Amino acid sequence: MAGVIDQYLASLRRELDFDPALARRLGDEVEAHLRDAAEADPAWPSPEAEQRAVARFGLAREIAVQFAADAIDRQARRSWIMLAATVAVTFVAMRLRIMWLDDVGGTASALAPLIDRYAFIAALVVGTIGWFAFRHSLTPLVICLGGLVASIAAGIARADLFVGGAPLHVLLPAAGEIALIGLLSWHVLGLHRRLRRTAALRRAG
Amino acid sequence: MLKGHLDAIVLAALEGGPAHGYAIIETIKRGSASTFDLPEGTVYPALHRLEQGGLLSSAWVTPPGGRRRRMYSLTKAGSAALAERRKAWSRFSSAVDSLLQEGRTWPA
């Protein structure tokens, strides 16, 4: 039968399943800690000594919540950095597209230039407000992501980029912004998963 | 109140040299004459956070015939951060001391 410490470690690893590498590392670290603590107990060796060591350590779920909250901070920071990079590359790509359009003229509807410009400006405004006031909230990131996707799609449609034989200096930034949008979506999804997981841990606690 | 200062306390506990989580907790308990008897597990999120922030470094160490443990040490940035937090704490505690002084008369 598993001892008190083994049971606690299994439960800690379960609670930390949102980050398997952390669960493994912390499991090993905490095992050494708990065995040191139990051995320092006057009643060692006994289940009571292990029980007291585990009780002093604290609830596995509460420790997992603290790690999850730190992970949200890191994920949010990465998402905002990715958003700033995407905005910068989108701006450069947009300017290059406009220069290219001056040469060849656009074929898309009259709406495309408006979406291209104003969806980008909306993303920029929401992103700036979000950065200063709602850095841990998913909403401004999702709005910015939506704005940038709309702007990029309209810009590409407007310039017929991938069918019109655009020069490399216009195509490469466009490919860059598509790649960055993909990465940004992945980060935002990751943040969403972490927020949901942390909320579930807090509710269960 | 302690939670807001846990990172600084952990940095200070490592000032004497590298230590593992259990030793850090014991240092904090002894250093505070058991006033800070916090759940021992709370030190690990702080250790990992400080390591992610580059203020601590860590490595697994297995002493001969002993148990494998993760040892944490202050980095250069960690020492600088500790000095900065000490100064901030000193300013803060002096201000609170002065405000809480018994018999102090407040201007009308």
Domain extent at residue B28? 3-87
Measure the CA–CA gap between B54 and B34, rounded to whole angstroms: 29
Say which CATH topology domain A65-204 has: Butyryl-CoA Dehydrogenase, subunit A; domain 3 (1.20.140)
A69 Cβ partners below 8 Å, 6+ apart? A198
Q: Is residue A66 within 8 angstroms of chain B, CB to CB? A: yes
Report pLDDT for A107: 55
Q: Is residue B92 within 8 angstroms of chain A, CB to CB? A: no
Is 70 exceeded by the pLDDT of residue A15?
yes
Question: Residue B39 is nearest to which of A22, A57, A70, comparing CB atoms?
Answer: A57
Report pLDDT for B89: 92
Residues in chain B, pLDDT under 70:
1-3, 103-104, 106-108
Measure the CA–CA gap between A177 and A175, rounded to whole angstroms: 6
CATH of residue B56: 1.10.10.10
pTM of the full structure: 0.75
* Of A45 and B70, more confident: B70
3-state secondary structure A109-166: CCHHHHHHHHHHHHHHHHHHHHHHHCCCCHHHHHHHHHHHHHHHHHHHHHHCCCCCCC
Q: Which residues of B touch A29 (CB under 8 A)?
A: 20-21, 44, 69-70
pLDDT in tens, A93-147: 888 877 776 655 555 567 888 888 899 999 999 999 988 888 878 899 999 999 9
Give how many domains chain B has, as a whole number.
1
Residue length, chain B?
A: 108
Cβ distance of B39 and A36 shorter than 8 Å: no
> Which burial class, exposed, middle or buried, applies to A34 when counting CB atoms under 10 A from its CB (0-12, 13-18, 19+)?
buried
Q: Is residue A57 within 8 angstroms of chain B, CB to CB? A: yes
Is 90 exceeded by the pLDDT of residue A32?
yes
Mean pLDDT value of segment A143-159: 87
Question: Residue B42 is nearest to which of A28, A33, A66, comparing CB atoms?
Answer: A66
Interface test with A, best of B34, B47, B70, B72 (most A CBs within 10 A): B70
In Å, how far is B102's CA from the nearest CA of chain A? Answer: 37
Question: Residue B22 is nearest to which of A37, A60, A62, comparing CB atoms?
Answer: A37
Report pLDDT for B2: 62
Q: Which residues of A touch B22 (CB under 8 A)?
A: 32-33, 36-37
Distances (CA, A) of B27 to A23, A31, A84, A176: 26, 19, 43, 51
* Of A52 and A200, more confident: A52
B33 lies in some domain? yes
Mean residue pLDDT across chain A:
87
Mean residue pLDDT across chain B:
89
Is 70 exceeded by the pLDDT of residue A205?
no
In Å, how far is A27's CA from the nearest CA of chain B? Answer: 11
| ipTM of the complex as predicted | 0.83
Is 60 exceeded by the pLDDT of residue A1?
no
Report pLDDT for A109: 66
Is 80 exceeded by the pLDDT of residue A204?
no
Q: Identify whether the C-beta of residue B72 lies closer than 8 Å to the C-beta of residue B56.
A: yes
Where in chain A are the domains? 4-58, 65-204
B57 lies in some domain? yes
B99 lies in some domain? no
DSSP state, residue B97: H
User: Strand order of the sheet with strand B19-20?
Assistant: B19-20, B69-74, B56-61
Q: Which residues of B touch A66 (CB under 8 A)?
A: 42, 45
Is 60 exceeded by the pLDDT of residue A42?
yes
B108 lies in some domain? no
